[in-house]
C-alpha cells in the first residue's frame, strides 16, 4: 500500500486516558510496575494491567506487546502496552519499530482509531521522536501485495486514524509545540511515502521496472512538483553523443533501451549550494557473460535500489523544500547476455576519456556509475555529490546484511554524512579508501581494468569510482546489503527496504 494510504496521522492533545479512540497505546521501559504511565493506566483499570503483565511475563523488552480490554473503565476499548527496552536502547530505528508494532496490533484488533502516548525522552528530541513514530506507522503497514490474489490481501485495513496523545498531567500545549508536532508529522509522512515508493520500485519485477519505467516514474514525480522539480531523460543516442562508453556497453546486451535520468530541484530563493545524489540503476543484473549462478541472480531485480532511493527521495525533498539546488542522477540499464552484449576483454572508453579493460562483466555497476559521476562532475558541477549503489557482495561479506559501507576521501563531507545517518538511524559504517589497493585495477592494455582481486572488493570498487569523481567532494555508499532484506523487523517487511531515502532527504532538507 502507498504510505499515504488510508491512515490519517494527527496530534491529539488533551488528557491521554480520556481519549475517545478504539485503542490507546503507550510505551513502557524496564520494570512496568515502576513506570509512571503504567501506574496511571493500571489505576484506571483497577490493577488489571499488573495482573495481566505478571501472567503474561511482560518485561517491557523491545518489541514485546500486550493488549487488554478496558471493559468500560476507560473511553478506549483496548489498551496496548509496548516494550521500549531500556531508555538507552530507544534509538530511532527502535522508535519506528515500536510505532509499527502499535499500528500492526491495532489492525489485528480491528481498531479504526488509535491514540498513542509517546514517552518523554527529555531534551529537544520530541519532534524527531514524533517524526520517527510517524515513519514507523507507515513503514510498518507497508505491504507489497499487488500480485497476491487472495481476498485477505484485497481487504483494506481497519485502521483509519492514528493520533499522538500528548497530555497526561494536564499541561497545556504552547503554539510552538503544536506547530512542531504538525511539521514533524508532515516530515515523517513525506519521508515514509518516499521510502515506501522506493520499496515498490525495488519489489516490482524487472519485467515491469525497466529503465524506461524508471524514467516514467521520475517524470511522474516531477509532474507532481511543477515549478520546483524538472527531469531530463537521455536515450542511448544522446548518451553516445556525450561519450558514455561504459554505461552504454553495460546496457547494449538488452532489448530494453537504456535511460539516463537527471532530476533537478530548484528552491525559490538563491540556493545555498548545489548537491547531487547518484543512484545505481541496473534494473536486472544477470552478470552478463561473467554469468551469475542462478541463486545469486534470483534477487537481482534489486540492483536498481540506488536509483529507486534517489528518485523517490526527490519527491520528499520537493514536498518538504530545500535551501539547496538538489540533483538526482541515475544511469539505468539491464545487464544481460546476448549477441550484442559486451564481452570480457573489451576495452571501453568512458565519458572522461579513461579507457577500461573488462575482466568481469558482472562488475557492471561501477561502469554505469563512473559515467554518471563524470556527467555529474562536468555537466552539473555540484559542490558535493553522493552515490548509492548495490555495488559489491564483498561489502556484505565485510559488514553483514544490515550495514552500508561508506567510502570517501573527503573528511569533512563524510563526517557530516555519517552524522546524518546517525540521526536517521540508517546503519552505515566507513571503510577506508586505501590507495594501495589501486594496484589491483592495473591493466596491461588500458588505463585500468574494471575488477580487482578477491580481497578488498568493496574498496577496489570505491577506488574505481574515485577515478571519475576526481576532486569533486564525493561520498560513496555501498548499499548491497541493506537495500533488500530476507529478515524482517516491525517497520520493515521482507524485500526492498528503501534504504538511504531517509538520510538523503535528511541531508537535503535539514539545514
362 touches Mn ion by CB under 5 A: yes
C-alpha cell at 23: 485503542
Q: How far is the CB of 362 from ligand BES (least distance, A)?
A: 4
366 among known catalytic residues: yes
Rounded distance, CA 71 to CA 47, Å? 13
457 touches ligand BES by CB under 6 A: yes
Q: How far is the CB of 289 from Zn ion (least distance, A)?
A: 14
HSE of 494, CA atoms in CB hemisphere, 13 A: 4
Rounded distance, CA 350 to CA 285, Å? 20
Binding partner of residue 502 among Mn ion, Zn ion, ligand BES, none, CB under 5 to 8 Å per kind? Answer: none
Rounded distance, CA 331 to CA 370, Å? 10
363 touches ligand BES by CB under 6 A: yes
Q: Which residue is nearest to Zn ion (CB)?
A: 285
Segment contacting ligand BES by CB under 6 A, of 18-26, 136-144, 360-368, 441-449 = 360-368
Q: How far is the CB of 368 from Zn ion (least distance, A)?
A: 9
**Of 87 and 436, which CB lies nearer to ligand BES in the complex structure?**
436
Size of the site for ligand BES (CB under 6 A): 15
Please choose, from the candidates 134, 125, 119, 114, the residue with its C-alpha nearest in 3D space to the C-alpha of residue 182.
134
217 touches ligand BES by CB under 6 A: no
- In the region spanning residues 478 to 497, those forming contacts with ligand BES, defined by CB under 6 A, are 480
Which of 199, 366, 466, 489 is catalytic? The answer is 366
**Sequence-separated (6 or more) residues with CB below 8 Å from residue 295:** none
Segment contacting ligand BES by CB under 6 A, of 31-39, 62-70, 347-355, 387-395 = 387-395
Q: Which residue is nearest to Mn ion (CB)?
A: 362
Residue with the three cell numbers 581494468: 449
Chain centroid offset of residue 318 CA: 16
**Of 275 and 480, which CB lies nearer to ligand BES in the complex structure?**
480
Q: Give first-to-last CA distance, the chain, whole Å.
A: 31
**Of 230 and 360, which CB lies nearer to ligand BES in the complex structure?**
360
Rounded distance, CA 207 to CA 401, Å? 26
Rounded distance, CA 194 to CA 63, Å? 25
CB 277 within 8 A of CB 326: yes
303 touches Zn ion by CB under 5 A: yes
**Of 325 and 362, which CB lies nearer to Mn ion in the complex structure?**
362
Phi, psi at residue 503, to the nearest 5°? -75, -35
Segment contacting Zn ion by CB under 5 A, of 36-44, 105-113, 297-305, 425-433 = 297-305
Q: How far is the CB of 48 from Mn ion (least distance, A)?
A: 57
Which of 125, 292, 379, 438 is catalytic? The answer is 292
97 touches Zn ion by CB under 5 A: no
274 among known catalytic residues: no
Rounded distance, CA 243 to CA 353, Å? 8
Phi, psi at residue 54, to the nearest 5°? -65, -50
245 touches ligand BES by CB under 6 A: no
What DSSP designation does 18 have? G
**Sequence-separated (6 or more) residues with CB below 8 Å from residue 116:** 24, 25, 26, 99, 102, 133, 162, 163, 164, 165
The three-class DSSP label of residue 475 is strand
285 touches ligand BES by CB under 6 A: yes
Please choose, from the candidates 329, 140, 176, 325, the residue with its C-alpha nearest in 3D space to the C-alpha of residue 244.
329
**Of 350 and 392, which CB lies nearer to ligand BES in the complex structure?**
392
- In the region spanning residues 392 to 421, those forming contacts with ligand BES, defined by CB under 6 A, are 392-394
Q: How far is the CB of 363 from ligand BES (least distance, A)?
A: 4
285 touches Zn ion by CB under 5 A: yes
- In the region spanning residues 83 to 102, those forming contacts with ligand BES, defined by CB under 6 A, are none
CA separation, residue 204 to residues 41, 200, 276, 283, 301 (Å):
44, 6, 26, 10, 8
**Of 256 and 451, which CB lies nearer to ligand BES in the complex structure?**
451
334 touches Mn ion by CB under 5 A: no
Rounded distance, CA 457 to CA 361, Å? 15
285 touches Mn ion by CB under 5 A: yes
Active site residues: 292, 366
Residue numbers of the site for Zn ion (CB under 5 A)? 282, 285, 303, 365
Residue ranges in contact with Mn ion by CB under 5 A: 285, 362, 364
Binding site residues, ligand BES, CB under 6 A: 285, 303, 360, 362-365, 390-394, 451, 457, 480
Amino acid at each position: 500500500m502507498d504510505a499515504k494510504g488510508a491512515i490519517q496521522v494527527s496530534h491529539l492533545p488533551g488528557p491521554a486516558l480520556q481519549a475517545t479512540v478504539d485503542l490507546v497505546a503507550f510505551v513502557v521501559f524496564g520494570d512496568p510496575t515502576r513506570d509512571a504511565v503504567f501506574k496511571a493506566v493500571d489505576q484506571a483499570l483497577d490493577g488489571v494491567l499488573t495482573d495481566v503483565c505478571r501472567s503474561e511475563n511482560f518485561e517491557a523488552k523491545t518489541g514485546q506487546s500486550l493488549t487488554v480490554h478496558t471493559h468500560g473503565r476507560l473511553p478506549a476499548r483496548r489498551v496496548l502496552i509496548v516494550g521500549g527496552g531500556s531508555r538507552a536502547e530507544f534509538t530511532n530505528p527502535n522508535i519506528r519499530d515500536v510505532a509499527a508494532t502499535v499500528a500492526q496490533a491495532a489492525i489485528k484488533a480491528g481498531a479504526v482509531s488509535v491514540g498513542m502516548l509517546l514517552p518523554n525522552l527529555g531534551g529537544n528530541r520530541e519532534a524527531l521522536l514524533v517524526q520517527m513514530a510517524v515513519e514507523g506507522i507507515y513503514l510498518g503497514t507497508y505491504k507489497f501485495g499487488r500480485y497476491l490474489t487472495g481476498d485477505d490481501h484485497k481487504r483494506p485495513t481497519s485502521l483509519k486514524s492514528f493520533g499522538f496523545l500528548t497530555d497526561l498531567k494536564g499541561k497545556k500545549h504552547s503554539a510552538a509545540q503544536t506547530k512542531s508536532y504538525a511539521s514533524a508529522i508532515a516530515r515523517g509522512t513525506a519521508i515514509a511515502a518516499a521510502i515506501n515508493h522506493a520499496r515498490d520500485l525495488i519489489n516490482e519485477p524487472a519485467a515491469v521496472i525497466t529503465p524506461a519505467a524508471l524514467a516514467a516514474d521520475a517524470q511522474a514525480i516531477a509532474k507532481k512538483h511543477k515549478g520546483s522539480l524538472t527531469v531530463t531523460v537521455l536515450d542511448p543516442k544522446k548518451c553516445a553523443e556525450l561519450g558514455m562508453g561504459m554505461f552504454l556497453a553495460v546496457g547494449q546486451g538488452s532489448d530494453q533501451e537504456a535511460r539516463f535520468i537527471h532530476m533537478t530541484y530548484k528552491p525559490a530563493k538563491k540556493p545555498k549550494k548545489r548537491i547531487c545524489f547518484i543512484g545505481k540503476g541496473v534494473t536486472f543484473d544477470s552478470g552478463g557473460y561473467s554469468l551469475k549462478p542462478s541463486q545469486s541472480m534470483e534477487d537481482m531485480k534489486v540492483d536498481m535500489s540506488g536509483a529507486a532511493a534517489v528518485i523517490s527521495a526527490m519527491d520528499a525533498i520537493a514536498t518538504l523544500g530545500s535551501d539547496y539546488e538538489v540533483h538526482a542522477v541515475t544511469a539505468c540499464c539491464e545487464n544481460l547476455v546476448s549477441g550484442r552484449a559486451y564481452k570480457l576483454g573489451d576495452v571501453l572508453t568512458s565519458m572522461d576519456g579513461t579507457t577500461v579493460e573488462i575482466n568481469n562483466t558482472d562488475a557492471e555497476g561501477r561502469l554505469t556509475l563512473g559515467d554518471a559521476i563524470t556527467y555529474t562532475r562536468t555537466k552539473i558541477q555540484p559542490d558535493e555529490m553522493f552515490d548509492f549503489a548495490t555495488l559489491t557482495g564483498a561489502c556484505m561479506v565485510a559488514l553483514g546484511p544490515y550495514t552500508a559501507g561508506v567510502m570517501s576521501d573527503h573528511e569533512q563531507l563524510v563526517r557530516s554524512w555519517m552524522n546524518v545517518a546517525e540521526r536517521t538511524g540508517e546503519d552505515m559504517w566507513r571503510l577506508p579508501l586505501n590507495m594501495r589497493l589501486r594496484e589491483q585495477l592495473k591493466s596491461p592494455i588500458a588505463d585500468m581494468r574494471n575488477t580487482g582481486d578477491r580481497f578488498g572488493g568493496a574498496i577496489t570498487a570505491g577506488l574505481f569510482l574515485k577515478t571519475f569523481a576526481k576532486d569533486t567532494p564525493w561520498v560513496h555508499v555501498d548499499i548491497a546489503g541493506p537495500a533488500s532484506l530476507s529478515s524482517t523487523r516491525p517497520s520493515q517487511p521482507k524485500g526492498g527496504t528503501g534504504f538511504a531515502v531517509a538520510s538523503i532527504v535528511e541531508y537535503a532538507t535539514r539545514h
